[in-house]
């Protein structure tokens, strides 16, 4: 006869006035509960073991992600100014990111997160360079390769055309050629995006790509479409890629432009508005993303620390 806690099954049945069927049901339930507890313990142990082997943290999927986007323009060994930092400063930025657990991502990575539920690292950050200066090729490119990081480079199509036709090696003002841009893109260190073909100007005709006062919607849409699609075509012809992000010249955003760039197939846009982005799965949140300028003589640590303070005003 099987024993339960030192008593026979018949003794237990009589003591608690159970029928034979009732007692069998209680015993079966007892073993089912024990089996469920054992299974839960085994699953927990497996999860902990898996986690210990995969140490790279990913961002949580059920809350908004803090995403700083740093804006650079030039890197110069000499003749630095507010918008032109030194190679030493840029390398110190990359070392800071490495030491503090940041992972650089591309705009395409961000778009895949929103549209395709692809995971992001726990502390993502995007480094952006505007205009396509030759000094980005000379200084930023080798440092990104050295630290295995990536950045986004928004090019002005006409400048790339002009300096491809007549190359100039002056690092204070020259722009990269299409061949140099292609080398940067092939490396995986730079993702090339659209910064207009020839609207990066301030003239009596137009301020950047903004809509003029009194300009009809039809005229503005044609002007913006013609320019942006020419830049798209130049990038496609020379690099074999099609940009998915539009970067506003001077950060001068017209409300009328949003519907137009969506219509042209851009899935995101970059502004010059100051702040830290809070990213969720809403595709509309990818437009007019905020950025933080990294100025000469202001460390990235302070730049990020100051920008993080704006989160207290975030909704």
Structure confidence at residue 62 as a pLDDT band (50, 70, 90): low
CA distances from residue 286 to 217, 268, 279, 282 in whole angstroms, order as listed: 24, 5, 8, 8
Does 48 lie in the same domain as 94? no
What local confidence, expressed as pLDDT, does residue 252 receive? 81
Does 33 lie in the same domain as 138? no
193, pLDDT greater than 60: yes
What local confidence, expressed as pLDDT, does residue 274 receive? 96
Provide the token pair at 165: 């036709």
Does 135 lie in the same domain as 113? yes
What local confidence, expressed as pLDDT, does residue 60 receive? 60
89, pLDDT greater than 60: yes
Residue 59 lies in a domain: no
Does 132 lie in the same domain as 264? yes
Does 131 lie in the same domain as 28? no
For residues 134 and 51, the model is more confident at 134
Structure confidence at residue 57 as a pLDDT band (50, 70, 90): low
CA–CA distance, 109 with 132 (Å, rounded to integer): 21
- Cβ 134 vs Cβ 180: under 8 Å: yes
- What's 244's domain CATH number? 3.20.20.370
313, pLDDT greater than 70: yes
141, pLDDT greater than 70: yes
Does 24 lie in the same domain as 143? no
Residue 260 lies in a domain: yes
What local confidence, expressed as pLDDT, does residue 314 receive? 77
What local confidence, expressed as pLDDT, does residue 203 receive? 85
Angle between helices 217-239 and 178-187 (to 10 degrees): 70
Does 87 lie in the same domain as 112? yes
Residue 117 lies in a domain: yes
Structure confidence at residue 1 as a pLDDT band (50, 70, 90): very low
Spatial CB neighbours of 294, under 8 Å, sequence gap ≥ 6: 70, 71, 72, 85, 93, 300, 303
Domain region containing 157: 65-313
Does 78 lie in the same domain as 47? no
CA–CA distance, 97 with 12 (Å, rounded to integer): 68
Provide the token pair at 32: 């089912």
Residue 60 lies in a domain: no
What local confidence, expressed as pLDDT, does residue 253 receive? 86
40, pLDDT greater than 70: no
Residue 58 lies in a domain: no
Structure confidence at residue 205 as a pLDDT band (50, 70, 90): confident
Does 162 lie in the same domain as 30? no
What local confidence, expressed as pLDDT, does residue 11 receive? 44
What local confidence, expressed as pLDDT, does residue 50 receive? 37
Structure confidence at residue 98 as a pLDDT band (50, 70, 90): very high
Q: How many domains, the chain?
A: 2
Residue 175 lies in a domain: yes
What local confidence, expressed as pLDDT, does residue 76 receive? 97
Q: What is the mean pLDDT of residues 176-202?
A: 97
What local confidence, expressed as pLDDT, does residue 74 receive? 97
Does 244 lie in the same domain as 211? yes
Residue 307 lies in a domain: yes
Least confident of 217-226, 230-239, 252-261: 252-261
Question: 304 burial class (0-12, 13-18, 19+ CB within 10 angstroms)?
Answer: buried
pTM of this prediction exceeds 0.85: no
Does 37 lie in the same domain as 77? no
Instruction: Look at residues 116, 277, 270 and name the one whose alpha carbon lies nearest to residue 261.
Output: 270
Does 20 lie in the same domain as 135? no
Structure confidence at residue 207 as a pLDDT band (50, 70, 90): confident
CA–CA distance, 107 with 191 (Å, rounded to integer): 8
Q: State the chain's mean pLDDT as an integer.
A: 86
Torsion over CA of 221, 222, 224 and 229, rounded to 10 degrees?
A: 120
Residue 222 lies in a domain: yes
5: phi then psi, degrees, rounded to nearest 5:
50, 40
Structure confidence at residue 59 as a pLDDT band (50, 70, 90): low
């Amino acid at each position: 006869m099987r024993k339960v806690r030192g008593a026979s099954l018949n003794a237990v049945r009589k003591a608690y006035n159970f029928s034979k069927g009732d007692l069998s049901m209680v015993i079966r339930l007892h073993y089912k509960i024990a089996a469920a507890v054992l299974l839960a313990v085994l699953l927990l142990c497996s999860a902990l073991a898996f986690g210990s082997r995969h140490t790279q943290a990913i961002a949580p999927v059920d809350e908004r992600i803090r995403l700083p986007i740093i804006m650079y323009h030039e890197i110069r060994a000499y003749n630095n100014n507010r918008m032109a930092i030194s190679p030493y400063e840029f390398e110190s930025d990359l070392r800071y990111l490495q030491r503090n657990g940041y992972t650089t991502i591309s705009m395409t990575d961000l778009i895949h997160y929103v549209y395709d539920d692809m995971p992001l690292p726990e502390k993502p950050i995007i480094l952006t360079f505007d205009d396509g200066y030759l000094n980005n090729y000379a200084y930023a490119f080798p440092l990104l390769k050295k630290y295995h990081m990536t950045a986004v480079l928004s090019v002005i199509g006409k400048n790339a055309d002009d300096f491809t036709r007549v190359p100039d090696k002056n690092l204070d003002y020259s722009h990269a050629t299409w061949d140099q841009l292609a080398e940067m893109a092939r490396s995986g260190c730079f993702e090339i995006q659209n910064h207009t073909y020839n609207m990066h100007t301030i003239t009596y005709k137009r301020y950047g790509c903004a809509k003029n006062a009194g300009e009809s919607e039809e005229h503005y849409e044609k002007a913006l479409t013609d320019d942006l699609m020419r830049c798209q075509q130049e990038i496609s012809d020379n690099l074999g890629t099609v940009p998915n992000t539009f970067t506003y010249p001077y950060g001068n955003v017209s409300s009328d432009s949003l519907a137009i760039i969506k219509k042209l197939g851009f899935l995101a846009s970059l502004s010059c508005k100051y702040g830290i982005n809070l990213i969720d799965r809403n595709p509309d949140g990818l437009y007019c993303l905020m950025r933080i300028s990294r100025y000469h003589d202001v460390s990235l640590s302070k730049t990020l620390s100051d920008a993080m303070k704006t989160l207290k005003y975030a909704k």
